[in-house]
Amino acid sequence: MSKRTIPGHSSLTKTQKISIAGVATLGAAALAFSFVPGNSESTTTTEAAAASEAAPVAWHINSNHIQDSLAQQQTSTIEQAKNAKAVEVKQAADAKAKAAAAAKAKADADAKAKAEAQARKDREAKAAASRAAARKPVYANNLDGWIRQSLDIMKDKGIPGSYEGLHRNIMRESSGNPLAINNWDINAQNGIPSKGLLQVIKPTFDTYHVAGTKHDQYDPVANITAAANYAADRYGSIDNVDSAY
């Protein structure tokens, strides 16, 4: 009758099972033996221990190298910062120097322009004075010249009057004598005699004296101009005077 193999059951013979068990036992023994200290195993264990002890040394060396590298990087960063600061300081100093130079150049240019303008103004004033001097009339030292000079001053001061009006009154009052004096009328009796070309008394002369003329009753131009100023105030103009005034 043939043997059948039941599914799930081993078909090994008894002899085969014993052989397998033996092999397994030998394998276990061999595995156990590998953990027993021996020359070969001792040497291997010692090398492993040495490698284990060398590892911290290697790490220490690598750590020092990293620290050195970091220190170098830090030093490099500091140097770069110093260099950047030095460049910044130099740029600021250069900018300040440039601004100062520009300000000085502007001040010098302004001073030069001002000096040139003043020099030009002085030249123009001098030229104008020269032209005015050239145009300034020369008055004759006589009655005609005195009247004409007085008329120019009167015109400048806004005092009305004409050549005819002045000449007419002068001839009536003093006959053209600048040193004429009245020693017999009431003014003379009061101690203030009439004097000069238009016979004015001292208080009237002092009150109506025109700036720019001599403060002297006997001065022809000063006497005429003061008398014309008085007549303009009292009569509107010396032209309106035809008698004692």
State pLDDT tens for residues 141-196. 999 999 999 999 999 999 999 999 999 999 999 999 999 999 999 999 999 999 99
**pLDDT at position 60:** 53
> What is the rounded CA–CA span in Å between residue 202 and residue 191?
10
Q: Which has more confidence, 187 or 46?
A: 187
**pLDDT at position 18:** 42
Tens digits of residue pLDDT in 50-77: 544 544 544 455 677 788 888 888 888 8
**pLDDT at position 61:** 56
Residue 75 amino acid letter = T
Delimit the domains of the chain by residue range: 59-136, 143-240
Instruction: Give me 220's structure tokens.
Output: 């022809």
Q: How many helices (H) and strands (E) does the chain have?
A: 7, 0
Tens digits of residue pLDDT in 78-90: 888 889 888 989 9
The reported pTM is 0.49
Tens digits of residue pLDDT in 194-241: 999 999 999 999 999 999 999 999 999 999 999 999 999 999 999 999
* DSSP element (H, E) containing 33: helix 14-34
- What CATH architecture does domain 143-240 belong to? Orthogonal Bundle (1.10)
Q: Which has more confidence, 168 or 43?
A: 168
Rg (CA), the chain: 68
**pLDDT at position 196:** 97
* DSSP element (H, E) containing 204: helix 202-208
